[in-house]
Chain A
Amino acid sequence: MSQKIVVTGLGATSPLGGDVHSTWQALLQGKSGIRTLDYEWVARHELPVTFAGTAKVPASEVLTLQETKRLDPSSQFALIAAREAWADANITDFVPERLAVEFATGIGGVWTLLDAYDTLNAKGPRRVLPMTVPMLMPNGPAAAIGMDIAARGGVRTAVSACASGTEAIANAITRLRSGEIDIVVAGGCEAAIHPLPMAAFASMHALSKRNDEPEKASRPYDINRDGFVMGEGAGALVLETEEHALARGAKIYAELAGGYVTSDAHHITAPDPEGTAAARAVIGALKMANAEPKDVGHINAHATSTPVGDIAEYTALLRVFGDDLKNIPLSATKSSTGHLLGGAGAIEAIFTVLALHEKTAPPTINIFDRDPVIDLDVVTEPRTLGDNVLAISNSFGFGGHNAVIAFRSYN
C-alpha cells in the first residue's frame, strides 16, 4: 500500500526574489534575475563571462552574523529556503525521529574551500579557520537544516550535478513510503558564482557569453542560444504523507506523485543524443504516479539554453510523448532564473507545484527566434491550467544523470 505524498510547505531564495512569493510574482511578470556582476574579481581575472543570476536578497540581510560566519553561502541559502518552507507548513507538533532531510547541492562549499586554500597559501595553516571542514562539506546544507528543525530521521545529500535538486525530492518519496518517516524537508541549493567555477564552466563553453545583454542571455529554444547562465539560491519543499498532513489539517499545495532517476552511461558531460535514459526517467516517474504520457498536462523543462542540451531534452520528450508533445504547455523557467545547478530542480519543483496550485503555467522569456527543429508548445505568457493536471519537472546533470519528478493537482 503506497500512500500519497503531499507538498505542504514551500521556501526559496533566488535571483528573482528572497522568498517564494516574490520569486513567483517576478517569474509571472516575465522578469529576468540575471545581471552584470559588480565584483572586483570579474575584472581582476578577466573572466570571459561577466554576468550571472545573483541572489536578489543577500543572505547576510536575512541571517545572523554568526550564521553567515559559520555557514558556506550554499548552506546560508539552504537555511533561508528551508526556514521559509518549514514556517509555511506550520508544523507545530512532530516526532523528530520521523522527520528527515533530503537536501542537495551540485558543487558544495566551493567558496569556503577556495577561500581557505587562499588563506593557507598566503598565511599558513595556523590561519585556516576551524570551521573550514564542516563548512565545505557537501552535506553541510542538509546538516544545517537538520539541526535547525531537529530532524533525527536521517539527513542525506544527493549529489548529481544539475540533477541533484530533483533527485533529492525523488529520494524523499522512498523515505516517506517506507512508513518510517512522516515529513521530509527536501530541495537543493547552490552558491557557485565564484571566479573558479565561472572560469571552469566558461572554459568548457557551457556558459553564455552574451555579456552586453545579460538579461537576454538565458534563452532556451531560441536559435541563437549560446549556453547557460549561472544562478544561485535554494528551494525547499516540505513533503508529508497525506495521512500526516490531513491529521493536522495542513494546507496542501499538490501531490508529489512520482520520482525516478536513470543514467546515460554515455558521456561525462554531453547528454545522450538519443535521449533513451532521459525518456526512461520520465516514464518511470509517470509509472510511479500510476499515469501515462497522455495524462501529462504541464512540463517544467530542464532547458538550460545550451545548443545541445535543449535538443537532447526535446528528443527525449518526443520519445515519451510523440505527437502529443506539441500540445503540452511547457515552461522553461531558467530563462528568468538562470541555472541554479544543484538548486535548479528544487526551485523548478516549486514552480511546478505553484503552476498546479495557482492553475497557471509560468512564462518562458527571451525567445526571439524559435529554433525551428524544436516543436513545442512553449508558454511565453502566463497560461491558465485546469483543475486536475499532472505535471513533470525534468533535471539532467553532468555525469549523465537524469531525474524526473511528477506532481498532481490536489483537490
Chain B
Amino acid sequence: MALSQDQVLAGLAEIVNEETGIDTDSVKMDKSFTNDLDIDSISMMTIVVNAEEKFGVKIPDEEVANLLTVADAVNFITAAQE
C-alpha cells in the first residue's frame, strides 16, 4: 500500500538524519537540501539510494538534479510509489 505524503516525509527525515545527523524536525517540506540543510552532493547520492530502498522506488540519476527541496523529493517519491 502506498504511503501518504506525511509518511514519506517522516521516512525521508529519518534517512537524512541517519546520513547527516540533522534533526528530523528540521527536515520540512519547504527546506532546500543544499541551501537550508547544507547537504552536499555526496550525501544527496547516499540519501537517494537509501530512499530508493526504503520506499521501493526508482529515482533516476537525471531526476536527482531536480530534487531541490524536501517537497520535491517527497512529491516524487509519493508519485513514484503508484
Contact = CB atoms under 8 A, between A and B. Distances in A.
B: interface residue count bin: 10 to 19
Contacts of A70: 42
Interface string B17-57: 00111000000000000000000001101100100110000
Interface in A276-326: none
Contacts of B52: 126
Nearest to A128: B49
A64 B46 contact: no
Interface string A59-72: 00000111001100
Contacts of A69: 19, 46
B53 A66 contact: no
Contacts of B21: 64-66
Interface string B53-72: 10000000000000000000
A65 B20 contact: yes
A129 B49 contact: yes
A129 B19 CA distance: 12
Nearest to B49: A127
A127 B45 CA distance: 10
A257 to B, nearest CB: 43
B49 A131 contact: no
Contacts of A127: 49, 53
A136 to B, nearest CB: 15
Interface of B: 19-21, 42-43, 45-46, 49, 52-53
Enumerate the 3 nearest inter-chain pairs by beta-carbon distance, A residue then B residue, closest first: A65-B21, A130-B45, A130-B42
Interface of A: 64-66, 69-70, 123, 126-127, 129-131
13 contacts: A69-B19, A69-B46, A70-B42, A123-B53, A126-B49, A126-B52, A127-B49, A127-B53, A129-B49, A130-B42, A130-B46, A131-B42, A131-B46
